[in-house]
Amino acid sequence: MKTELQRVLEAYRAMEPVKDVIHMIKTQFAVDQRWASLEFQAQVLQEVVNDPICDDFAPLRKYTYRFLKSYVDEIEAVHADVDDGLVEALMEFILNAKLVDDALNSEAMHHVSYTVPTADSSVVVTCRVASVFNEVGLKLWEAGWLLAEYVIAHKGDFHGRKVLELGAGVGFTGMVLACVCRCNRIVLTDYAPNVMQNLRYNVEINSSKFVCPAEVQTLDWETWQPTDHEDERPDVLLAGDCVYDVAAFPPMMHALQSFLGNDQGSTNQHPQRVAIFAATIRNQKTFQEFLDQLAVHRIDYVDITTSSLEKMGRQLFAYPNRDQIRICRLSRTVESTAQ
């Protein structure tokens, strides 16, 4: 059930910058400084800080501490009384963590949760992510968010299809698709053991919200050969923020070649296979090398960013660099055979 604090709650679950969340509270509830009233403070504590989803899948403790501390500081700055419950919650962090940086930074993993619109209403997708980003597969990347927005807006394109996600990482994009579209099945793949363990965990805690089968598989780009069984072979490939390391392009091209194969056309039973990539352009030379490799391997590249964004509309999730992300469709040219 949505409340007047719904947007604040969503921002808190997603660990949006504390200053932005506090600004949202002060702006949305500015009339008569309602945001600083004792009644409203108790409401924030009950509906946001003590949110049942955050109780089960907690954000970073340091984030919660900063949120509470910033909110209390703002209340005191206008000389308003601070709710006892809010003070107790803040003191609990001070007493338990003793404000030692190592104690607040000791969490290896934490959770972020996002509200995903569905045909009926919405669901919350939760991801466990690394608190220190020393492993690329244990965090959410910008293009993964955009690709999730893409599949929400284009879910009809995936209906009844067999979808495989390369480099799924924490699994956000694939899990969003599993929540909004009745695909034939979705396979989320990655490779590193710690990434795979976390990916399986994320799929497990969200599986009750899926409307189609979803599974996790280890996939090595260098050796992958899709099954010959047409009822199991994927016909749509997804990848978000996989185009960042030139050294990874040869195995990536092998995976694309293996997936696209030598299709000779499309039929109703076996549609032409297609890959949808979302890539953040951090280095133009790296992206150009990606395009060059596609050309060498005779893989067609079509930039569909503009048309996709028009259909997608407003940004659903809070993430940076949206204007630096390209969405592209990759396929194999269908050539007619001389008779």
324: pLDDT strictly greater than 60: yes
> For position 143, what pLDDT does the model report?
96
Provide the β-strand partners of residue 238.
165, 276
> For position 7, what pLDDT does the model report?
96
Whole-number Å distance between alpha carbons of 121 and 295: 43
Out of 120-134, 156-170, 176-190, 291-305, pick the least confident.
Answer: 120-134
100: pLDDT strictly greater than 50: no
Across 251-280, average pLDDT = 77
106: pLDDT strictly greater than 70: no
The structural architecture, per CATH, of the domain 109-332 is 3-Layer(aba) Sandwich (3.40)
Beta strands 162-166 and 236-240: pairing type?
Answer: parallel
> For position 50, what pLDDT does the model report?
96
Q: Is 289 exposed, middle or buried (0-12, 13-18, 19+ CB in 10 A)?
A: middle
* pLDDT tens digits for range 193-210: 999 999 999 999 999 999
Whole-number Å distance between alpha carbons of 245 and 51: 39
Across 255-275, average pLDDT = 68
> For position 232, what pLDDT does the model report?
76
Greatest Cα pair distance, the chain, in angstroms, is 86
271: pLDDT strictly greater than 70: no
Q: Is 203 exposed, middle or buried (0-12, 13-18, 19+ CB in 10 A)?
A: buried
300: pLDDT strictly greater than 90: yes
* pLDDT tens digits for range 20-34: 999 999 999 999 999
pLDDT level of residue 335 (50, 70, 90 thresholds): low
Whole-number Å distance between alpha carbons of 129 and 144: 14
Whole-number Å distance between alpha carbons of 239 and 243: 9
Sequence spans of domains, the chain = 6-104, 109-332
**How does the average pLDDT of the chain come out, rounded?**
90
0.85 exceeded by pTM: yes
Residue whose C-alpha is closest to residue 275's, from 332, 227, 219, 326: 332
> For position 276, what pLDDT does the model report?
98
